[in-house]
Amino acid sequence: MDRKTDLLELFATYQTEYESEAHYIPRFKQLLAQPIDPFSRLNPEAHITGSAIILDRRIECVYQIWHVKVGRWLQPGGHVEDDDANVYAAALRELLEETGFDRAEIIPLRSEIFDVDIHPIGSGSGAHEHFDVRFAFEYIGDLEAIPIPPARWYPLTDLMYDADESQARYAKKVIEALKSN
């Protein structure tokens, strides 16, 4: 299955209660319907990226790294490369590359989309949008060993109030999922 079809199938079953996120879904589908490669960073206006929301064993904290280019603490993630089978594979690859975690320490919480976001990147003639597809993972390794600095484990409850709307939303989703279990 090609990457476009794979992502369209994920969107066919994806639902969100968050209005701030729901308005992104038609834009994703519109980008996927274009004849261009929506995953290529050569697309000057927008392209699809993959991110990994990494939770600790207690599901109390999220792993964040300092993204120098945007000057913010964010979840690991980035561009879909040519050899990535799909956006999920890209998110997992980015997770491993950007954290240095061992693959055996990572458990996918689910293979479905956890959250989506569209955000601007760059400025001037290089400005474009990242259509970010986020997947949730659990880290089962040693929480004290953070192999690639700068990185941190950040409390989900703090993220709900300390971060931008996008990060606060996924923190709320995690906490709400815990309440329903």
Model confidence pLDDT, tens digit, residues 89-126: 999 999 999 998 999 999 998 889 999 999 988 777 77
pLDDT at 41: 87
Rounded to two decimals, what is the model's pTM? 0.93
State the Cα–Cα distance between residues 134 and 117, nearest whole angstrom.
8
Distance of CA 142 to the CA centre of its chain: 22
pLDDT at 79: 94
CATH number at residue 12: 3.90.79.10
- Residue carrying the six token digits 């409850």: 157
pLDDT at 38: 95
pLDDT in tens, 162-179: 778 889 899 998 888 766
Question: Greatest CA separation found in the chain?
Answer: 47
Nearest to 133 by CA among 56, 67, 53, 43: 53
Confidence of residue 4 (pLDDT cuts 50, 70, 90): very high
Domain count for the chain:
1
Using alpha carbons only, give the angle 167, 173, 179 rounded to the nearest 5 degrees. Answer: 140
pLDDT at 31: 95
Q: Is the pLDDT confidence value at 147 over 90? A: no
Q: Is the pLDDT confidence value at 86 over 90? A: yes
Residues pairing with 67 in the sheet: 72
Nearest to 131 by CA among 19, 4, 13: 4
State the Cα–Cα distance between residues 110 and 41, nearest whole angstrom.
26
pLDDT at 178: 66
Nearest to 100 by CA among 139, 48, 57, 49: 139
Strand, helix or coil for residue 33: helix
Strand, helix or coil for residue 174: helix
State the Cα–Cα distance between residues 11 and 29, nearest whole angstrom.
8
Q: How far is CA 88 from CA 78, 143, 160, in A?
A: 11, 24, 25
Confidence of residue 25 (pLDDT cuts 50, 70, 90): very high
pLDDT at 179: 61
**pLDDT > 70: what percent of the chain?**
96
pLDDT in tens, 51-78: 999 999 888 999 999 988 778 899 999 9
Better-predicted residue by pLDDT, 144 or 132:
132
pLDDT at 72: 87
For the residues 146-154, what does the mean pLDDT come to?
80
Cβ atoms 40, 82 nearer than 8 A: no
In sign, the C-alpha dihedral spanning 113, 115, 119, 122 is negative
Instruction: Domain of residue 152: give its range.
Output: 3-180
pLDDT at 81: 96
